[in-house]
Amino acid sequence: MSQRPGDPRVGEPEQHEFAFASFDSLEGVPVLAPAPAGTPAYLRLYHAGQRILPGGLIAVLVALAASWLSDHYGAPVMLFALLLGMAVNFVGQDPRCRPGIDFMGRTVLRLGVALLGARITIDQINSLGGEVLVIATGGVVLTILAGWGLSRAFKLKPDFGILTGGAVAICGASAALALSSVLPPSPTRERDTTLTVVGVTTLSTVAMVLYPLIAAAVGLTHTQAGVFLGATIHDVAQVVGAGYGVSKETGDTATIVKLFRVALLLPVIVVVALVFRSKMAAGPSGKRPPLVPMFLLGFVALVAVNSSGVAPASLMDQAGEASRWCLVTAIAALGAKTSLKELAYVGWKPVLLIVAETAVVLGWVLAMLLLGA
């Protein structure tokens, strides 16, 4: 980068010269180290806020831009957030922005998953009936097991199969982010999560158009079509779009079935955390992370509050909307930490794995509905 006469940056280390090359007003932002030990709590909080602010603001701006594009062009907001985040990948590599990007991709992500509980009630689940619960639960278990088995057959890491299988089986991008946070650390974890989000979001959009046609072709009733759509399409938004595109009855059923799949995120994450617990690195205290992460306890608490009717419905609706914003912002942060060049190295096997998992859950649910008809 060229220097101007009298530029105070002359002589700075090279790694600072490229940062914010296209954002002149931010070039003076300093690199802040963590607060030293013994600093009072209120000063540590203030200092942490200063460190988080640059990267955090960028993730929020990307999320806002993604939401605007989604509202105006009808494409999935998660996909827009991921792609726009990847477009500003250079920001995620800057030491002044990385603390904020990491905070959004970890802490805000977990807050978003916890707030998902505000969208679910026990009454909704009970209204489905035992047969539908078996179909949806069987689809989740079978898809995750298929992901694990196929990943080994394709000579991929088993935890990648769990990640993709869980995303396909439960709730798309949200499940991918949640599962990624409890799987063992890996140099390729962020790349794998990004690839999973891109794959499930793309296939979910295709399913939103294609699956209603399949339901009509095989002669499913409106209720059966709702079960089919809610138990097979990956993301909540696409389930709602596909269901209400058929009829109100189909849309209501599909949404409730989908929310039940979201509720299965809790037991799945507990089981995954238990299976991989021995591989998780111990923290500074020498102890491994808790079996049930705090954000999942928050998820359970909000399901209980929403089911009890103690909190106003408007408050729960706002919590659900806050969950959406948290997850979109976390996706934007994930994109900012991911290089498109890295994704080019994954090859065709991971893509085929996600497609195969999608076919597994589709075949299971459709067969169960037709056999039970």
pLDDT tens readout for residues 15-61 = 443 444 444 445 555 555 566 666 677 677 777 778 888 889 999 99
- What is the reported pLDDT for 121? 85
User: What percent of the chain is predicted at pLDDT more than 90?
Assistant: 26
- Residues with Cβ within 8 Å of 137's Cβ and at least 6 positions away in sequence, in order, are 264
Domains of the chain: total = 1
Q: 294 pLDDT exceeds 70?
A: yes
Instruction: Say which amino acid occupies 151.
Output: S
Within a domain: 119 = yes
Within a domain: 318 = yes
pLDDT digits (tens, 9 = 90+) for 298-335: 888 998 998 888 889 899 989 988 988 998 898 888 88
Within a domain: 40 = no
Mean pLDDT of the chain: 81
Secondary structure of the chain as H, E, C letters: CCCCCCCCCCCCCHHHHCCCCCCHHHCCCCCCCCCCCCCCHHHHHHHHHHHHHHHHHHHHHHHHHHHHHHHHHCCCHHHHHHHHHHHCHHHHCCCCCHHHHHHHHHHHHHHHHHHHHHHCCHHHHHCCCHHHHHHHHHHHHHHHHHHHHHHHHCCCCHHHHHHHHHHHHCCCHHHHHHHHCCCCCCCCHHHHHHHHHHHHHHHHHHHHHHHHHHHHHCCCCHHHHHHHHHHHCCCHHHHHHHHHHHCHHHHHHHHHHHHHHHHCHHHHHHHHHHHCHHHCCCCCCCCCCCCCCHHHHHHHHHHHHHHHCCCCHHHHHHHHHHHHHHHHHHHHHHHHCCCHHHHCCCCCHHHHHHHHHHHHHHHHHHHHHHHHC
- In which domain, by residue range, is 132 found? 51-280+288-372
User: What band does 227 get if pLDDT is binned at 50, 70 and 90?
Assistant: very high
Within a domain: 243 = yes
Q: 122 pLDDT exceeds 90?
A: no
Within a domain: 172 = yes
Within a domain: 293 = yes
Return the higher-pLDDT residue of 95 and 139.
139
- A 10 A CB-CB count for 136 gives 27
Dist CA 78 CA 315 (whole Å): 24
Give the mean model confidence (pLDDT) for residues 168-191: 84
Alpha carbon separation from 24 to 27, 28, 29 (Å, rounded): 5, 8, 10
- What is the reported pLDDT for 12? 40
Within a domain: 30 = no
Within a domain: 316 = yes
Q: pTM surpassing 0.85? A: no
